[in-house]
């Protein structure tokens, strides 16, 4: 058999020695897993490679290629990682947690466990990622439950605590959840949990690529953030109490701006944004969402008009917009609030997109849009009764982002704060503030306040006028040749605003598809946002 042994893993083509009975068990079991990326009907799970560990013969990890019509991810192979622990048994077991089922082999009956829930598997992965790890490191280890795209295991007794993340969908090539935290840790930035190591998948011999070449990453280890609160749960709690989330949101905005500044330096820069291609991708993603979810049909024309506007404005813009590494799927659930403030997690991008798309350099404004959407979710899920709760959090986030972005820009240039257009630049101007107050008064006086929307101020005439004035002021202040301070450098406010609305729409459409697939009861949240953005 053409197998590769590298460090702590052995890779064998196909199903290796895994009996067919186990594969049949998996066909029934997989579609019910939260991390299984497709509904399962009509999908075949075809063994691609099998990973085993020299010192843990009971741990077997089939990597299954999903095949069938209509799978997400385009032409890219969709591969899932299914770590298993096989233990011989004399009798059929009770229904133990993590038990997938039993199979009878020539050697007798074998219990098949979900490796994501099994200490023997955790130890094999920890050793593959971090070398010599003693069994004592497993004291108190536990897998996280709940709504996860991957399987995360808390390992409190490893050093000062670690988190092992088993990446369920295997993306070919270096995984951004490894490369980005590694680069940020190397750059000395402490806004991410410290990167501790990764589990590599080397190519087996006899295949199309030289044996040992990194095919993918299977897992990643990071330092455990002690006493941390999940950002989404925290925001929902505030929303439930109608307590202002402004301060936390502003701090988070500052961390996201730092993240973008560090990424800009730590990872290769992207091209300058090409308007037609950029808007082409927005259109394609929207078309996919419209094809997937019937309830979106009334918004097709509005989306087309917004994308047309963005394209025209970008094409008319005099200065280019630089793309860079970003988070790619930023929302409150990707941030932990602990003793040292906010830490950002989970850099794999939107799990339902092809890898090439989610790792491509992009606009930092996309992350901003993702976080804005998330405040809306927190308000809806937490049940804020104050209709202004999400908007206040959104504006505070933007304010924190802008301030930190200006600071980072000034540091990058070693001079003074940037004068080019930044994402929340409107607030800088007197005109904007006046208009915002006027808009607030109009809003309160005339119609019931609505729930959340990043686009709410834009609804008013006063805002638009002030925005145009501010845009003119701003353009007059941009000095050619000054270093760009943000992705939106050089763009006037109306373009930045249209771009942000388009990115909020793009995210909301993704969310409609995501929720329809995974949490249909929540689909109303992004559907309402689509309606709001398109007015």
Ligand X SMILES: Nc1ncnc2c1ncn2[C@@H]1O[C@H](COP(=O)(O)OP(=O)(O)O)[C@@H](O)[C@H]1O
Question: Which positions lie near ligand X, rule CB under 6 A?
Answer: 144, 148-150, 152, 163, 165, 193, 222-225, 228, 230, 333-334, 336, 345-346
Rounded least distance, CB 257 to ligand X, Å? 21
**Nearest residue (CB) to ligand X, 228 versus 256:** 228
For ligand X, the closer of residues 80 and 103 by Cβ is 80
| Stretch touching ligand LMANGFYV by CB under 6 A, among 17-25, 49-57, 113-121, 329-337 | 329-337
d(CA 288, CA 352): 12
> CB of 139: closest distance to ligand X in angstroms?
17
Give whole-number Cα distances, 334 to 15, 43, 154, 162, 305, in Å: 34, 30, 16, 17, 32
Going by the DSSP 8-state scheme, the letter that residue 210 receives in this structure is -
DSSP codes joined into one string, 49-90 = EEEE-TT-TTEEEEEEEEESTT-SSTTS-EEEE--EEEEE-S
Q: Which is nearer to ligand LMANGFYV, 113 or 232 (CB)?
A: 232
Is the CB of 22 or the CB of 335 nearer to ligand X?
A: 335
Q: Which does 182 bind (CB under 5 to 8 A by kind): ligand LMANGFYV, ligand X, none?
A: none
The CA distance from 163 to 191, in Å, is: 16
Residue 469 structure tokens? 């004035």
Q: Is the dihedral of CA 257, 260, 265, 271 positive or negative?
A: negative
Asked if 497 interacts with ligand LMANGFYV (CB under 6 A), we say: no
Binding partner of residue 228 among ligand LMANGFYV, ligand X, none, CB under 5 to 8 Å per kind?
ligand X
- By C-beta, is 129 or 303 nearer to ligand X? 129
**Cβ atoms 165, 115 nearer than 8 A:** no
Contact 282, 307 (CB under 8 A): yes
Rule CB under 6 A: say whether 260 interacts with ligand LMANGFYV. no
163 binds, among ligand LMANGFYV, ligand X, none (CB under 5 to 8 A by kind): ligand X
Residues between 209 and 248 with contacts to ligand LMANGFYV, criterion CB under 6 A = 232
- The size of the interface with ligand LMANGFYV (CB under 6 A), counted in residues, is 16
User: Measuring CA to CA, which residue among 408, 428, 427 is closest to residue 416?
Assistant: 408
Residue 386 CB burial class (10 angstroms; 0-12, 13-18, ≥19): middle
506 forms part of the interface with ligand LMANGFYV (CB under 6 A): no
Closest distance between ligand LMANGFYV and the C-beta of residue 85, in Å? 25
Cβ distance to ligand LMANGFYV smaller for residue 406 or 515: 515
DSSP annotation of 116 reads G
Compute the least distance from the CB of residue 377 to ligand X, in Å: 14
252 binding ligand LMANGFYV? (CB under 6 A): no
Residue 258 near which of ligand LMANGFYV, ligand X, none (CB within 5-8 Å, type-dependent):
none
Closer to ligand X at the Cβ: 3 or 148? 148
Residue labelled with tokens 């929902």: 236
Least distance to ligand X from the beta carbon of 327, Å? 11
Among 111, 182, 329, 388, binds ligand LMANGFYV (CB under 6 A): 329
Q: Which residues have C-beta within 8 Å of that of residue 233, sequence separation ≥ 6? A: none
Residues β-bridged to residue 81: 63
Reading the block at residue 474, the tokens are: 């701003």
Spacing of C-alpha 63 from chain mean position: 23
* Beta carbons of 423 and 486 less than 8 angstroms apart: yes
Task: Report the relative pairing of strands 59-67 and 99-105 from DSSP bridges.
Answer: unpaired
List the one residue from 197, 219, 246, 351 that touches ligand LMANGFYV (CB under 6 A): 351
- Side-chain-side CA neighbours of residue 21 (13 Å): 13
**Smallest distance from the beta carbon of 3 to ligand LMANGFYV, in angstroms?**
32
Task: State in angstroms the smallest separation of the CB of 396 from ligand X.
Answer: 22
Q: In whole angstroms, what is the distance from residue 148 CA to residue 189 CA? A: 26
**Footprint of ligand LMANGFYV on this chain (CB under 6 A)?**
147, 149, 232, 329, 331-334, 346, 350-351, 373-374, 377, 511, 514
């Amino acid at each position: 058999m053409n197998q590769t042994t590298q460090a702590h893993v052995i890779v064998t083509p196909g199903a290796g020695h895994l009996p067919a009975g186990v594969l049949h068990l998996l066909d029934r079991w997989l579609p019910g897993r939260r991390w299984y990326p497709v509904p399962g009907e009509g999908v075949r799970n075809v063994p691609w490679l099998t990973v085993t560990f020299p010192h843990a013969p009971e741990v077997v990890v089939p990597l299954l290629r999903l095949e069938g019509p209509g799978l997400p991810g385009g032409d890219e192979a969709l591969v899932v990682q299914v770590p298993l622990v096989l233990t011989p048994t004399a009798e059929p077991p009770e229904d133990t947690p993590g038990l997938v089922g039993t199979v009878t082999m020539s050697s007798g009956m074998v219990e098949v466990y979900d490796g994501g829930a099994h200490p023997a598997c955790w130890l094999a992965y920890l050793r593959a990622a971090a070398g010599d790890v003693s069994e004592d490191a497993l004291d108190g280890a536990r897998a996280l439950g709940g709504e996860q795209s991957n399987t995360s295991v808390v390992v409190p007794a490893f050093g000062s605590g670690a988190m092992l993340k088993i990446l369920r969908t295997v993306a070919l090539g270096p995984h951004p959840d490894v490369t980005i935290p590694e680069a940020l840790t190397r750059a000395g930035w402490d806004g991410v949990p410290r990167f501790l190591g990764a589990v590599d998948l080397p190519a087996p011999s006899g295949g199309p690529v030289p044996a040992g070449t990194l095919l993918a990453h299977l897992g990643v280890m990071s330092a455990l953030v002690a006493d941390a609160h999940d950002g989404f749960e925290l925001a929902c709690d505030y929303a439930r109490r109608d307590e202002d989330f402004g301060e936390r949101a502003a701090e988070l905005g500052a961390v996201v701006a730092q993240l973008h500044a560090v990424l800009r330096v730590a990872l290769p820069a992207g091209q300058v944004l090409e308007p037609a291609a950029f808007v082409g991708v927005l259109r394609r993603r929207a078309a996919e969402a419209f094809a997937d979810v019937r309830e979106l049909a009334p918004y097709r024309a509005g989306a087309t008009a917004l994308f047309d506007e963005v394209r025209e404005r970008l094409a008319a813009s005099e200065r280019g917009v630089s793309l860079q590494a970003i988070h790619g799927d930023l929302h409150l659930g990707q941030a932990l609030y602990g003793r040292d403030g906010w830490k950002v997690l989970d850099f794999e991008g939107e799990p339902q997109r092809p890898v090439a798309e989610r790792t491509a350099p992009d606009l930092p404004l996309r992350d901003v849009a993702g976080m804005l959407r998330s405040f809306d979710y927190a308000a809806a899920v937490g049940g804020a009764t104050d209709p202004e709760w999400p908007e206040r959090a959104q504006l505070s986030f933007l304010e924190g982002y802008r301030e930190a972005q200006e600071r980072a820009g000034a540091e990058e240039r070693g001079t003074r704060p940037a004068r080019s257009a930044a994402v929340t630049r409107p607030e800088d101007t007197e005109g904007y503030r006046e208009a915002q107050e006027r808009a607030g008064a109009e809003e309160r006086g005339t119609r019931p306040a609505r729930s959340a929307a990043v686009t709410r101020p834009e609804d008013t005439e006063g805002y638009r006028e002030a925005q145009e004035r501010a845009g003119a002021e701003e353009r007059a202040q941009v000095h050619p040749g000054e270093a760009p301070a943000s992705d939106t450098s050089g763009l006037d406010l109306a373009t930045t605003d249209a771009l942000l609305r388009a990115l909020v729409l793009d995210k909301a459409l993704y969310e409609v598809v995501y929720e329809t697939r995974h949490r249909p009861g929540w689909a109303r949240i992004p559907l309402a946002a689509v309606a709001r953005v398109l007015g």
